[in-house]
Amino acid sequence: MENKIKKTTIVTGSILASALTALTVTNAEAKTINLGSGSELRSEIIDLNIMSSSKSVYEMKCGSESMEKGKAQKTEKKAKEGKAVESKCGEGKCGEGKCGGNAKKSSKTTNAKASKTESKKEAKGKTTESKCGQGKCGAE
């Protein structure tokens, strides 16, 4: 079981061996391309997943200047909302959101399912709102 996990501390030479093997296989996607920073790439991949299109990040990167501008703004916004990486994990969000609105909403719906799993939409709202240290966690 354990060896299924691709340890990110790569065993010396294993990558080299698979690269040499891959050299013999023709693969159109096998080209070196700079994919940009984490927030840019993440934003593009999320967009692709929302559209669920067979376009690739390469194609997403092409386009008019205005589209690029629009994307840059979007990226910036998503980066702010986004991942722990950008907001530094550990200093992150308390998980409760601002006490009041959402918290009350969820506590009211404590039926079996609601108490077990917050709805995904609600969770999305919360993750973008809450900040550790703000709001009184747990206060109803």
Partner 1 sequence: MLYNKQTYHAEKLLVEWCRTGNPVELNVTRQDGLKQYRRLFRNNIHNTLVQSFPIAFEVLTEDEWSQLIDDFFATGKVTDGRVWLMAGNFYEFVVVNEYAAIFNKPWLDDLLLFEWVEIEVHTMNDIPKEHFLTSGDLFNDIIEINPEYRLITLEYPVHLYAAEKTVEKKGSYFLLVYRHPENFKVKFSNLHPLAVVVFEKIRLERKSLKQIIDEMDALQETPIDDTQKLELQSFVKQMLEEKAFLGFKSYYKN
Q: CA 99, 138, 81, 56: dihedral to nearest 10 degrees?
A: -130
CB of 114 within 8 A of CB of 106? yes
Nearest to 117 by CA among 135, 83, 137, 126: 126
* Amino acid present at 63: G
CB of 105 within 8 A of CB of 68? no
Phi, psi of 37 (to 5 degrees): -85, 170
Minimum separation from the CB atom of position 59 to partner 1 (A):
10
Minimum separation from the CB atom of position 100 to partner 1 (A):
15
The nearer residue to partner 1, 38 or 100, going by C-beta atoms, is 38
The nearer residue to partner 1, 66 or 111, going by C-beta atoms, is 111
The nearer residue to partner 1, 54 or 66, going by C-beta atoms, is 54
Minimum separation from the CB atom of position 70 to partner 1 (A):
20
Minimum separation from the CB atom of position 68 to partner 1 (A):
18
The nearer residue to partner 1, 34 or 66, going by C-beta atoms, is 34
Rounded to whole angstroms, the Cα distance separating 139 from 65 reads 48
